[in-house]
Amino acid sequence: MRSRQLCQNCYESDRARIDWQPSYVDAQPIRDHILALRAGGISNKRLRQLSGVSHNTIQVIITGRPERGTGPTKRVWRRTAVKLLAVPIPEIPHRVAAAGRKVPALGTRRRLQALVAAGYSRRYLCARIGMAESNGGRLWREDKDLVLATTARAVDALFAELQMQPGPSSRARNEGRRRRWPLPLDWDEDTIDDPAAAAVPSWTVRDRRAEQLEDIAERQATVQRLTDLGLSAQEIAERLSISSKQVVRDRAALRIEQAS
Say how many domains are in the chain: 3
Percent of residues, the chain, with pLDDT higher than 70: 87
Residues 123, 186, single domain; the answer is: yes
Whether 97 is covered by a domain: the verdict is no
Mean pLDDT to the nearest integer, 221-245: 92
Largest CA distance in the chain: 119
> In this predicted model, which residue has the larger pLDDT, 42 or 231?
231
Q: Any residues with CB less than 8 A from the CB of 188 and at least 6 apart, and which?
A: 197, 200
Of 199 and 15, the structure prediction assigns the larger pLDDT to: 199
185 with 245, same domain? no
Tell me 260's DSSP state. -
Rounded mean pLDDT, 37-53: 85
Confirm if 113 and 159 have CB atoms less than 8 A apart.
no
CA gap 47, 91 in Å, rounded: 16
- Choose between 96 and 242: higher pLDDT: 242
Whether residues 55 and 107 share a domain: the answer is no
Residue 252's domain spans which residues? 205-259
- The distance from CA 102 to its chain's CA centroid, rounded to whole angstroms, is 11
Indicate the residue among 67, 89, 111 that finishes a domain.
89
> Has residue 39 been placed in a domain?
yes
Looking at residue 3, its pLDDT comes to 46
**Can you tell me the distance from the alpha carbon of 119 to that of 113, in angstroms, rounded to the nearest whole number?**
10
User: Under a CB-based contact definition with an 8 Å cutoff, are residues 221 and 258 in contact?
Assistant: no
Provide the β-strand partners of residue 102. 148
User: Tell me, what's the pLDDT at 1?
Assistant: 44
- pLDDT of 67: 82
Kindly report whether the global pTM for this prediction surpasses the value 0.75: no
